[in-house]
Structure 1
Amino acid sequence: MANLKKFSLTFDQKNDDWALKNLDSGRTLRRFDTKADATKGGVLKNVIGVEGGSVKIHKVNGRFDEERTFPGSKDPHSSKG
């Protein structure tokens, strides 16, 4: 998993929306009105692109919720997800 790009989806209180950020560059790739908008049917996969990556998804309070890997074939074998 060391070669995967790392991303995070967090709630931005200042803008009152959800931001998907590339953790390597710190750049915000896209903003969403709701967490559900970001996590529904292939949206994250499409934003991340064909190279894929690992997305850490947080709760509104900032605590870790879950992690998703795109494409799924790059998910480490030891992962429960």
Structure 2
Amino acid sequence: MSTRKKYHVTQKEDGTWQGKAQGGQRASVIADTKKEAMADTIRIAKNKPSSQVIIHKQDGKFQEERTYGGKDPYPPKG
């Protein structure tokens, strides 16, 4: 079973937004807006066999997560 690659979209101290692989040293994406950072990070994640994008609010708290490729361990019902 492969491990899901996780990316976090967060706001940096300078007000820009970043998309960064969990445990990574540097951001994969830096953008002026959250929308741009999300779009670019999701594009990267979709090119991986199994990935997850965790989106944070301005205050750093969890907002939502999106899973791509592989089997989602918690699919929604309905």
| Structure-2-length-normalised TM-score | 0.74
* 3-state SS in 2 of match to 1:6: strand
Unpaired runs of 5+ residues, structure 1, are: none
In structure 2, the CA distance between the partners of 1:26 and 1:74, relative to structure 1 (3 Å rule), is farther
Give the secondary-structure state (helix, strand or coil) at the position aligned to 2:25: coil
**1:29 alignment partner in structure 2:** 28
The RMSD of aligned alpha carbons is 2.4
**In 1, Cα distance between equivalents of 2:12 and 2:25:** 14
Give the SS at the match of 1:13: coil
2:9 corresponds to which residue? 9
Q: Give the length in aligned residue pairs.
A: 76
Residue 46 in 1 paired to residue 43 in 2? yes
TM-score, normalization by structure 1: 0.72
CA distance in 1, matches of 2:24, 2:37: 20
Counterpart CA distance in 1 for 2:56 and 2:38 is: 11
Q: Which runs of 4+ in 1 moved over 4 A?
A: none
Q: Work out the CA distance in 1 between the residues paired with 2:28 and 2:75.
A: 26
Q: Is the CA contact (8 Å cut-off) linking 1:7 and 1:55 kept in structure 2?
A: yes
Aligned to 2:54: 56
Counterparts of 2:48 and 2:2, CA distance in 1? 17
**Equivalent residue for 1:80?**
76
